[in-house]
Structure 1
Amino acid sequence: MGNSCVTGASSHSKKEQVQKAVEAPPSPVEQTTFKWTIDGFSSLLDLDKGWTISRVFEISGLRWYLRLNPRDTKSGDQNEYVSLRLQLSPASVRSDTVVEATYKFFIYDQLYGKHHEQPQVCHNFQTTSTSSGTSCMIPLATLKEKSSGFLVENSCAFGVEFIKVTAAQTNDATEKLFVQKKVNKISSIPEVYTWDIDDFFALKSPSHSPDFELHGHKWFISIHPSGFDKNGNFISVFLTMKVTDILHENSANLVELDIRIKSQGSGKDNGQKGRCEFSKNATSWGWDKFILLEDFKDCSNGYLVKTKCCIEAKVAVIGASKME
């Protein structure tokens, strides 16, 4: 019986040791990164100049996205540059909060591991400044050199590493984006929906179009007649993909969108274009300041005839991505 008691005590001691091990997990990794791999990079270059937006990713409890311009320019310089911006998603912007983030951008060397690294940057993200400054990374010609290792088999990878954020940090996030060729791809052909509004002055803020289907996905247009911030100076317009139409929480669609308020007279349409990734974290993209309300109501432009107006959405799904 004595041996039994001793054995029991020994067993209990081991159990305590196991419990202590479980209760003391390893510390989380302090630095977190987001890697954005783009397959079919040449197809991205074939598109109109401008910024392409990554999917929304979460790091340090906040939502962010990257903006890439592969054909950026500098004043007085004829060269084209590959540029990146870091943007704090509107979902994480608080009017009474300043998010201080220290980070650096990368272009990954896929052959030799000698990544092109930008100097460390510190930026305060807030309501009046949700985007970092543009960083001209390297000349486009340098990125395309075979010896650089940046562009391999028409694929390149960009990244941002967060050194310090005011919020708690989380694990790394990675995305791979595939951009389809512009020609001979049925999914690259824009499809169009037209929303005829009979009485603009009867619209609520926001008001939504009927659901419509383009490229096998269901969408709707939202309009804020007095602006998203209700300041009464601008009309805000957004395009939303129905959440139930997004197949998986880790997937996203790269969409080229062209939204226009049609001129019903001899004037020109007023439109905005963009390339954005629609995912479960970001189902809606658009413009807070789509058009000045004063310009919209100006009879000479033909946007508003009596009470009628017309909004056109042109959508092309040009790529897809998946978090890894």
Structure 2
Amino acid sequence: IHDPSFKWKVYGFSALLERGATPANSTRFHCCGYKWYKVTPAHKRSGDGIPYVALQLFLSRVSFKPGHTMNALFELSVYNHSNGTYYGGKANVFSPEKKPLVISKKHITVQNLFLQKKEFIRGTYTWTMSNYLDLKLLVNSPAFEVGGHKWYVNMYPLGDKYSTKSLSLFLHLHDPKELPDPKSGMMIELTLSILDVKHGKHFTRRFVFAAGDKAGWGWSNFIRLKTFKDPSRGYLLGSNCVLKADITITGSSND
């Protein structure tokens, strides 16, 4: 009998495909004393061009201490509504040191996701910075509004504690109290960019996530500092750079 720890029910999945092959992240869920989240990116196999859906399970790094290792056995599957069965397979994450894992009776977390095909809520914010070279610590943009919520972009000019010689860039809700319950959070498509003011070849990262379990989303390793500071690239001219945030609210997660 298949007894999942986490169920992610997606309504209007085709709307996600129409937005392009962008990973969609669930909110984090608890299992075995750790926090996890699921990712459903759309891929194309090399050579045949046939699209397919891949399922990935990630361990939230905030719940796992650096230097520790884990051996986990997990199964990812997709429910077949026609015959009432699950399609999937088991997988392993191996570590050098294997230890037995005692699992108590588990709580099943269910998150429903309702995706819209039209009437998206969109917003764009451009942050022009003229003093990058003077910055050493975290800096926040002015607040801006999209979808009835106030947001801000924050940047670690030399990278946060998880960064490896990269600039870190994140989107945050201005007021954490506005953060919705994980079961009723927004589905957001986020695009963060650093503009190339010389050639127009902007550096961009994009992903889709279910808001609800934390107030900030982004990348610790957004762009390598060596690349960002390369004068031939056009990202940093003197001490000037331009950052852009595009937010699209594509749906909501509700019971």
Structures share fold, TM-score greater than 0.5 = yes
Deviation by residue 1:85-106 (Cα, 9 ceiling, x = unmatched):
0001122121132232211112
Structure 1 position 177, deviation (Å): 0.6
Secondary structure, counterpart of 2:15 in structure 1: helix
List gaps (5 residues or longer) in structure 1.
1-30, 127-163
Map residues 73-88 of structure 1 onto 2, 5 A cutoff: 73-88=44-59
Instruction: Give 2:172's aligned residue.
Output: 240
Report whether the alignment pairs 1:123 with 2:93.
yes
Question: What is the one-letter code of the residue matched to 1:94?
Answer: K
In structure 2, relative to structure 1, the CA distance for the partners of 1:290 and 1:167 (3 Å cut) is farther
Report whether the alignment pairs 1:176 with 2:112.
yes
Distance in 2 (CA, whole Å) between partners of 1:88 and 1:169 is: 20
1:100/1:166 contact within 8 Å kept: no
Distance in 1 (CA, whole Å) between partners of 2:206 and 2:183 is: 25
Residue 287 of structure 1: which of 219, 239, 242 is its match? 219
Map residues 10-159 of structure 1 onto 2, 5 A cutoff: 33-69=5-41, 71-118=42-89, 120-124=90-94
In structure 2, relative to structure 1, the CA distance for the partners of 1:103 and 1:232 (3 Å cut) is closer
In structure 2, relative to structure 1, the CA distance for the partners of 1:233 and 1:249 (3 Å cut) is closer
In structure 2, relative to structure 1, the CA distance for the partners of 1:88 and 1:167 (3 Å cut) is farther
Deviation by residue 1:255-306 (Cα, 9 ceiling, x = unmatched):
1111111223334221111111221x22221112211212212222222222
Report whether the alignment pairs 1:270 with 2:198.
no
Question: What is the one-letter code of the residue matched to 2:215?
Answer: T
Instruction: Give 1:134's aligned residue.
Output: none
List gaps (5 residues or longer) in structure 2.
none
Deviation by residue 1:93-147 (Cα, 9 ceiling, x = unmatched):
21132232211112112242122131x2221489xxxxxxxxxxxxxxxxxxxxx
Higher helix fraction: Structure 1 or Structure 2?
A: 1
1:62/1:92 contact within 8 Å kept: yes
The alignment-based identity, stated in percent, is 29
Question: What is the one-letter code of the residue matched to 1:96?
Answer: G
In structure 2, relative to structure 1, the CA distance for the partners of 1:66 and 1:38 (3 Å cut) is same
Structure 1 position 318, deviation (Å): 0.5
TM-score, scaled to structure 2: 0.88
Deviation by residue 1:28-79 (Cα, 9 ceiling, x = unmatched):
xxx651001110111111111121111111222211111102x322234343
Report whether the alignment pairs 1:216 with 2:152.
no
Deviation by residue 1:143-201 (Cα, 9 ceiling, x = unmatched):
xxxxxxxxxxxxxxxxxxxxx856766411111111110x3x042xx310111212002
Instruction: Give 1:207's aligned residue.
Output: 139
Q: Which deviates further from its counterpart, 96-105 or 311-320?
A: 96-105
Instruction: Give 1:192's aligned residue.
Output: 124
Number of aligned residue pairs: 249
TM-score, scaled to structure 1: 0.70
RMSD: 2.4
Secondary structure, counterpart of 1:318 in structure 2: strand
2:163/2:220 contact within 8 Å kept: no
1:227/1:234 contact within 8 Å kept: yes
Distance in 2 (CA, whole Å) between partners of 1:297 and 1:320 is: 38
